[in-house]
A and B are shown apart, each in its own frame.
Chain A
Amino acid sequence: MGFDMLIDPAFLQSVPRFVTPILLAALGGAICDRSGVFNIALEGFILVGAFCAVLGSYFLGSAWWGALAGMLGSIGMGLLFAEFHLRRRGDAIVVSIALNLFAAGLTAYLLRAIFGVSGAFHDAGIVGFAGIDIPGLAAVPVLGPALSGQSILFYFALVATFALHFGFARHRLGLRLRAAGENPAGLIAAGVDPQRVRLYGLILCGALCGLAGAQLSIANVSLFVENMSAGRGWIAVVAVLLTGGRAIPVLLIATLFGFVDSFSFRVQGVGLPQQFTDMMPYLATLIVLIALSAWRKSRTA
């Protein structure tokens, strides 16, 4: 186990599989954050997305239906968030905690109710996304394996990053989302309802987190496991926090975290106990969080 492992093609190919869910969820979280919605329920959004993706794929027979179902499921979570936070003015943290628990309970419940199993469900009937080979990208030195052969959701995530970047700057909804987050009173005085704008933001967030879940359950593997989101949602929250919701920095941070996540998976069974490798993504997140927070603190002191 040396540094050559880091540029081992098999390892590099696995990195985007871990980056994608974090990136997609973080982009969704970024939209909420910029619009002034403190959504820390990304974990629950992803989990519901993962479950619904399996539902759609299994019952409707294709990965595309799975992705769509995943999006719709998480959009449903977004609508719940909007109902209880925006309309009924529930505290965002309380609503987030409740929705995270709700997602965990509901997915485990439906796992039993629909598939009759507990713990995990895997079946040949779950159709997953195959990797897409892009010869031009595959030829890129070193990074080739990472750029080609990934699921469509990875490429979508990259496109979404830039779409968000430009959308915030030049699209009407992007402008209004930023205003809702910065000075909602000003937006009201300009004649636009910030709550409605935030609702649209939550729907977009749901769609992106749904795809994040789909990447987990029908692209990386083809099965659903209870609590499948496994902390990715919290890592995405940290990514949003560290970048202030800006699209390109989100991409960079998500890549970093995905890299560590992938690395910890890779070193399993190389002698370290399972718990340590499982812990790595969280420790890495903590370390990055500490480093960047401390740096920021020293700048403004």
Chain B
Amino acid sequence: MQAELSDITVRFGALTAVDHVSLRFSAGEIHAVVGENGAGKSTVMNVLFGLVRPAAGSISLDGRAHVWRTPQDAIAHGLGMVHQHFMLQDSMTVLENIVLGAEPLRPFGFVDFGAARRRLAEIASAYGIGVDVARRVADLSVSERQIVEILKVLYREAELLILDEPTAVLTPQETGRLFGILRNFRQSGKAIVLITHKLDEVMQIADRVSVMRGGKLIASTTLGETSKTEIARGIIGGDLPAALKRADTAPGEVVLAVEGLEARGQGRAAGPVSLSVRRGEIVGIAGISGNGQSQLIEALVGMRAPLAGRVVVLGRDVTSADVARHRAAGLSYIPADRQRVGLALQARISENAAIGRETSPAFRRGPFLRRDAMVRFARQLIERYAIKAAGPNARSASLSGGNKQKLVVGRELSRDTPLVIAENPTWGVDIGAIDFIHRELIRMRDSGHAVLLISTELDEVIALSDRIFVLADGRIAGEFSAATADRLAIGALMTSRDQPRQAA
């Protein structure tokens, strides 16, 4: 199958997310669409899949034009998409998830699970992939869930597969396995579209590379016609930002001491974990998402009572204390979810900025709030952290992703606390803001603060940290110093629970 997007334009309100982009995808080819966060690559592929209606432009398959009203139309014509955030029903079995929406029927609308099972067995043996279809998705590892998503697409006999950031949640080893599967697909004549921002992988697997930036298509060539640096330049539109440099200082006193911490949240338990963070250093925790990070962080910050262990901040035991007391002991927290946990989107920027300070004398007069002080403070943050906003009284929802994140980072860092806990601080943020936030974190470290960085982005952890712990299966699987940090060695330790099973 050959698919062609011609002159696609997508607008979200005033923002032009995709600007007159044309792309062609051919059978037996792995076509990588690369760009940084917000470049429009996911959006343009959502158009191909029918999740988004373009304002202009057309879609054609094998020369015939089509208009999709829903993904159902695209699926019916042989397109399939494996999404970045898995679209699975946790409480249902693999089998139920795969047939959902394409259920084989018996009389009166009952589902013929037997026929589905037989069909899946055929697919599994044809492509060498499989998973136990009776298991509940909630019990599967992340890479197993991805296999389910792929099986969903194959079950519907897709000839063109779109994979959106498939390796974001895989260890380097699992990525290798996935690429093997993709090569299988390529050999059997399917067209594969790979949306990614990881250049190394593009160089490894792609036949053709299209670079997008700011909604526009910058270049589309075969792999042989370009180079890694050229692609990188196309993505950023200039040179890569200068490499991050940490000041040569020795760490000071211990600010955070964690002993035997165990926590249970939704899903897997985490722990026991022990570590310490000292003044003037960045300690990074690397790991694939879903290995206990959020449980640990909730326990560290005070949002969840730990099952066991101790958390001591500057000598104060805050193990079973609430968030307010954790913060009072000297902690600031940049959460991973800026939309729900980092900000109150419907509130003004000034109101978001002042949270936590409303009881301090600068912001209150008796029971009353000093709004003018709040606005002034917000203005300071906007300037200091280069936040592009309409003004301190604008709603936080009006900010772009990167600026929202800068608001959260700015608010937390300006507390100037001895300890900063940063959780995926640059997720989904454009390169300029990523660089800015990284430099701010290093600045905190250089001026004697202690920073605990938990991130699923391995490159970020390696670039920023003085010491690196690897979290796998809720426990610390290994420790590295900045000098000994090696991507492959770390990756080897980052296994998720339960290796995916190969079909027999």
Contact = CB atoms under 8 A, between A and B. Distances in A.
A and B touch in the complex (CB under 8 A): yes
A107 B454 CA distance: 59
B216 to A, nearest CB: 27
Nearest to B91: A182
A190 B97 CA distance: 9
A178 B88 CA distance: 12
Contacts of A173: 109
B390 interface: no
Given A175-B103, A176-B100, A179-B100, A191 B72 contact: yes
A175 B71 contact: no
A293 interface: no
Most chain A C-beta atoms within 10 Å of own C-beta, residue among B76, B86, B101, B105: B101
B90 interface: yes
Interface string B93-126: 0001101111101001111010000000000000
A182 B90 contact: yes
Interface of B: 51, 70-72, 75-76, 81, 83, 86-92, 96-97, 99-103, 105, 108-111, 113, 152, 305
Contact of B101 (A171, A182, A183, A192): A192
B70 A191 contact: yes
Nearest to A166: B110
A278 interface: no
B89 A172 contact: no
Contacts of B152: 190
Contacts of A187: 100-101
A189 B51 contact: yes
A193 interface: yes
Contacts of A175: 92, 96, 99-100, 103, 111
B110 A172 contact: yes
Contacts of A179: 89, 92, 100
B100 A192 contact: yes
- Interface SS of A by simple majority: helix
Given A175-B96, A182-B91, A192-B101, A170 B110 contact: yes
Contacts of B81: 189
A185 B105 CA distance: 23
6 contacts: A171-B109, A175-B96, A176-B101, A185-B87, A189-B83, A191-B71
A186 interface: yes
Interface string A189-216: 1111100000000000000000000000
A183 B71 contact: no
B111 A178 contact: no
B102 A190 contact: yes
B109 A190 contact: no
Contact of A190 (B101, B108, B110, B113): B101
Contacts, number: 72
A170 B75 contact: no
Given A175-B111, A186-B89, 19 more contacts: A171-B109, A171-B110, A172-B109, A172-B111, A175-B92, A175-B96, A176-B100, A179-B100, A182-B90, A186-B86, A186-B88, A186-B97, A187-B101, A190-B75, A190-B87, A190-B100, A190-B101, A191-B70, A191-B101
A166 to B, nearest CB: 9
Given A190-B101, A191-B75, A178 B89 contact: yes
Contacts of B110: 170-172
B162 to A, nearest CB: 11
Interface in A279-301: 301
Nearest to A185: B87
A185 B102 CA distance: 16
B71 A172 contact: no
Contacts of B305: 301
Nearest to A176: B100
Given A171-B111, A179-B92, A179-B100, A189 B105 contact: no
A172 B91 CA distance: 16
A188 interface: yes
A178 to B, nearest CB: 7
A207 B51 CA distance: 34
B475 to A, nearest CB: 23
B90 A183 contact: yes
B89 A189 contact: no
Contacts of A183: 87-90
Contacts of A192: 72, 100-101
Most chain B C-beta atoms within 10 Å of own C-beta, residue among A170, A175, A190: A190
B305 to A, nearest CB: 8
Contacts of B100: 175-176, 179, 186-187, 190, 192
Nearest to B90: A182
A189 B87 contact: yes
A5 B103 CA distance: 52
A179 B87 CA distance: 10
A281 to B, nearest CB: 32
